[in-house]
């Protein structure tokens, strides 16, 4: 019931449409209920041989039918407008909420499950609120009006004919209780199926590279089978309860023919009254037959609503404090004070008591093995995560006291696997600053050594790249991502292995552009190449989430066996295979 009440809350902005829809439904029901009465009166006119009254009643029946048609069409149009409006609001709310959630939430969610909630579940809710609710209301109105008319004609016969209705309601309640968990499980299985499809399409290159099509097909068939099996449970429930609810009203019809027929034969009930009574009962049969279907709509909406509210009730973990202000002026001074971070569900913290100061305008390289905590550390700077202990400060301000939008506008990140949107090259570079001119975009591309290959594309800067930029090479994607970061003109620049997909010759060209872009700007580099380390003023060494050393390349080679090991095992340059070539290479930097 709580879920239904919350679903009805989405109709709050559509009260006018709901009122008009209800009024039109009420008037349509009046016209519907009038037709049997007029039909009975027409039978009486036939019996009396009154042609004038028969013509008048025939015209009245036509008028009632036309009115019912017009009112029903108008009601459906208004209900459709309400339904689409609710869908629009729900989509906006779900999308805005998803954007507001922190990365920790997405780390634990399947994309396909989220897509299922934003599509399949949302449509179930929309259809119920826009149409199902009106159908249920209309069915109730029909039952009330027709029952009143029948009681007016003959209370005893009405009691006999309407006797099955309480049984129908009881059966409907049992169906409702049984159907909801079954339908909720169906929605969950559909979400899993959507997740499988999304994973297969997103990873199709990997699937084909490893000839895993048959394996993915088996997985997909298993997902379909789970959907089928769970759907069959709800289908079996509907297959039993719906026909049973349709059968019960037939008992009322049989009772009417038996007892009503005897009443007509005995002269206690006129043929005209019996005819009206018969048509009223026929009117009641339709809503009682569709009761199972409308209850199915309601239960599916409740199941989908529960999944939507599970998403909407998730509070963002990264929020602006009530008194949060903009990031204070500064040149990008960064300080970590005893920072610890443990991801949800992780056995060990990703960072352990890290204290580190990065002076404004300097460049620091982070070095360490896989899982050392390098990427985790840089994700704290734009506050993509909050530390579970300690504090992160930028220009003297704890990032938790700063408006996240203001903070992130001053931090630009280039990842090792940059994401590009299915849009033009111009739009992808200008994503950091949508109002940037073509000249500014091209200047950023030149700094990133991307202008030449962009100019050679079929449409130049107006070329649309494929989804995730997969129509470009890895190196081209990274250069566009670097240009995007440079166009943002951030106070702090983070390069998370940003040249990993670029050959040595191109990297040397980009290095010159990066040196110019990094001048006077605080930069953090996650390094896996000697040439990248060469860009840094200092190097910080991480191991299993701890900061174990810090210094220049030469200092660390002299005093840190761990750094020597990381250099030899983690950096691909052949120059790191022994110490003397390293020193010669460093001397030439």
Q: Are 186 and 304 in contact (CB under 8 A)?
A: no
CATH number of residue 474's parent domain: 3.40.50.300
Q: Are 544 and 347 in contact (CB under 8 A)?
A: no
CATH number of residue 186's parent domain: 1.20.1560.10
Beta bridge partners, 325, equal 402
pLDDT of 357: 93
Residue that is last in its domain, among 279, 312, 345: 312
The rounded distance, in Å, linking the Cα atoms of 98 and 92 is: 10
Provide φ and ψ at 186, rounded to 5°: -60, -45
pLDDT of 202: 67
Q: Please check whether residues 392 and 433 belong to one and the same domain.
A: no
List the Cα angle 301/304/310 in 5-degree steps.
Answer: 135
Q: Please check whether residues 67 and 206 belong to one and the same domain.
A: yes
Q: Quote the number of domains for the chain.
A: 3
Residue 449 is part of which domain span?
417-489
> In sequence order, which residues have a C-beta less than 8 Å from that of residue 38 and are 6 or more positions away?
57, 60, 61, 64
Q: Please check whether residues 431 and 533 belong to one and the same domain.
A: no
Q: Please check whether residues 85 and 149 belong to one and the same domain.
A: yes
Cross-sheet strand order for the sheet of 538-543: 411-414, 492-496, 522-526, 363-367, 538-543, 546-551
Tokens at 197, concatenated:
């499809």
pTM of the model: 0.67
Cross-sheet strand order for the sheet of 351-358: 351-358, 334-341, 389-394, 397-398
Q: Look up tokens 């109002």; give the residue.
A: 435
Q: Please check whether residues 180 and 241 belong to one and the same domain.
A: yes
Confirm whether 507 is domain-assigned.
no
The rounded distance, in Å, linking the Cα atoms of 424 and 507 is: 24
The model's pLDDT over 268-297, given as tens digits with 9 standing for 90+, comes to 888 888 888 888 888 877 777 666 667 777
Dihedral of CA atoms 518, 524, 527, 530 in degrees, nearest 10, equals 40
Residue that is last in its domain, among 281, 312, 343: 312
Tokens at 317, concatenated:
């973990």
Confirm whether 281 is domain-assigned.
yes
SS3 for 314? coil
Residue that is last in its domain, among 312, 343, 374: 312
Query: E strands of 225-324, at which residues?
Result: none
Dihedral of CA atoms 301, 305, 307, 311 in degrees, nearest 10, equals 150
Confirm whether 111 is domain-assigned.
yes
Q: Please check whether residues 302 and 335 belong to one and the same domain.
A: no
Q: Are 227 and 193 in contact (CB under 8 A)?
A: yes
Q: Please check whether residues 75 and 190 belong to one and the same domain.
A: yes
Give the pairing type, strands 411-414 and 492-496. parallel
Q: Which residues of the chain carry a pLDDT beneath 70? A: 1, 202-203, 205-206, 208-210, 289-293, 467-469, 498-514, 516-517, 528-531, 566, 569-589
Q: Please check whether residues 334 and 481 belong to one and the same domain.
A: no
Confirm whether 20 is domain-assigned.
yes
Structure letter (DSSP) for residue 528: S
Structure letter (DSSP) for residue 58: H
User: What is each CA distance from 425 to 412, 436, 464, in whole angstroms?
Assistant: 18, 13, 6
Confirm whether 516 is domain-assigned.
no
Q: Please check whether residues 229 and 371 belong to one and the same domain.
A: no
Compute how many other C-beta atoms are within 10 angstroms of the C-beta atom of residue 120: 18
Q: Are 382 and 554 in contact (CB under 8 A)?
A: no
Q: Are 426 and 468 in contact (CB under 8 A)?
A: no
Q: Are 507 and 477 in contact (CB under 8 A)?
A: no
Q: Are 416 and 498 in contact (CB under 8 A)?
A: yes
At 412, which helix (H) or strand (E)? strand 411-414
Q: Are 345 and 108 in contact (CB under 8 A)?
A: yes
Compute how many other C-beta atoms are within 10 angstroms of the C-beta atom of residue 273: 21
Q: Please check whether residues 151 and 10 belong to one and the same domain.
A: yes
Among candidate residues 65, 32, 240, 20, the one with its CA nearest the CA of residue 139: 32
Confirm whether 322 is domain-assigned.
no
The model's pLDDT over 95-108, given as tens digits with 9 standing for 90+, comes to 888 888 877 777 77
Confirm whether 317 is domain-assigned.
no
Q: Please check whether residues 403 and 428 belong to one and the same domain.
A: no
Among candidate residues 149, 100, 381, the one with its CA nearest the CA of residue 279: 149
Q: Please check whether residues 241 and 378 belong to one and the same domain.
A: no
End-to-end CA distance of the chain: 71
Tokens at 261, concatenated:
């027929």
Confirm whether 303 is domain-assigned.
yes
User: What is each CA distance from 257 to 36, 164, 254, 286, 306, in whole angstroms?
Assistant: 16, 15, 5, 18, 46
């Amino acid at each position: 019931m709580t879920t239904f009440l919350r679903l009805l809350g989405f109709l709050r902005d559509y009260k006018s449409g709901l009122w008009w829809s209800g009024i039109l439904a009420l008037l349509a029901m009046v016209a519907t209920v009038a037709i049997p009465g007029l039909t009975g009166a027409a039978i009486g006119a036939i019996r009396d041989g009154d042609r004038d009254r028969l013509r008048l009643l025939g015209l009245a029946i036509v008028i009632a039918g036309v009115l019912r048609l017009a009112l029903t069409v108008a009601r459906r149009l208004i209900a459709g407008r309400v339904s689409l409006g609710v869908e629009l609001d729900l989509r906006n709310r779900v999308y805005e909420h998803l954007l507001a959630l922190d990365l920790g939430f997405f780390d634990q969610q399947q994309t396909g499950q989220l897509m299922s909630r934003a599509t399949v579940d949302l449509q179930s809710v929309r259809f119920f609120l826009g149409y199902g609710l009106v159908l249920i209301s209309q069915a109730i109105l029909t039952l009330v009006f027709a029952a009143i008319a029948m009681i007016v004609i003959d209370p005893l016969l009405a009691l006999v004919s309407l006797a099955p209705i309480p049984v129908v309601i009881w059966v409907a309640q049992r169906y409702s209780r049984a159907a909801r968990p079954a339908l909720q499980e169906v929605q969950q299985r559909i979400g899993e199926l959507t997740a499988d499809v999304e994973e297969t399409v997103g990873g199709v290159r990997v699937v084909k590279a490893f000839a895993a099509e048959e394996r993915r097909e088996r997985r997909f068939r298993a997902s379909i089978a789970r959907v089928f099996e769970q759907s069959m449970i709800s289908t079996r429930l509907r297959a039993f309860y719906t026909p049973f609810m349709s059968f019960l009203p037939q008992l009322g019809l049989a009772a009417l023919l038996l007892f009503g027929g005897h009443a007509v034969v005995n002269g206690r009930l006129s043929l005209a009254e019996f005819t009206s009574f018969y048509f009223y009962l026929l009117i009641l049969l339709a809503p009682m037959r569709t009761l199972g279907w409308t209850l199915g709509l309601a239960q599916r909406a409740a199941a989908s609503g529960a999944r939507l509210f599970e998403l909407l009730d998730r509070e963002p973990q990264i929020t602006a404090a009530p008194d949060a202000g903009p990031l204070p002026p500064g040149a990008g001074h960064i300080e970590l004070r005893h920072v610890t971070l443990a991801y949800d569900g992780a056995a060990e913290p990703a960072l352990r008591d890290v204290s580190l100061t990065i002076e404004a305008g300097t460049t620091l390289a982070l070095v360490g093995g896989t899982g050392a905590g390098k990427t985790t550390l840089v994700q704290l700077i734009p506050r993509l995560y909050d530390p579970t202990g300690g504090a992160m400060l930028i220009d003297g301000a704890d990032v938790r006291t700063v408006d996240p939008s203001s903070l992130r506008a001053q931090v630009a990140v280039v990842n090792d696997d940059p994401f590009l949107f299915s849009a033009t090259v111009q739009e992808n570079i200008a994503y950091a600053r949508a109002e940037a001119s073509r000249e500014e975009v091209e200047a950023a591309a030149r700094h990133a050594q991307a202008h030449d290959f962009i100019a050679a594309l079929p449409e130049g800067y107006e070329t649309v790249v494929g989804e995730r930029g997969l129509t470009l090479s890895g190196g081209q994607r990274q250069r566009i991502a670097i240009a995007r970061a440079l166009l943002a003109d951030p106070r702090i620049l983070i390069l998370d292995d940003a040249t990993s997909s670029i050959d040595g010759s191109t990297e040397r060209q980009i290095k010159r552009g990066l040196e110019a872009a990094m001048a006077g700007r605080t930069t953090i580099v996650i390094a896996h190449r000697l040439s990248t380390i060469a860009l840094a003023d200092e190097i910080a060494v991480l191991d299993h989430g701890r900061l174990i050393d810090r210094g220049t390349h030469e200092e660390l080679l002299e005093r840190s066996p761990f750094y020597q090991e990381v250099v030899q095992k983690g950096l691909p340059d052949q120059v790191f295979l022994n110490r003397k070539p390293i020193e010669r290479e460093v001397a030439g930097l």
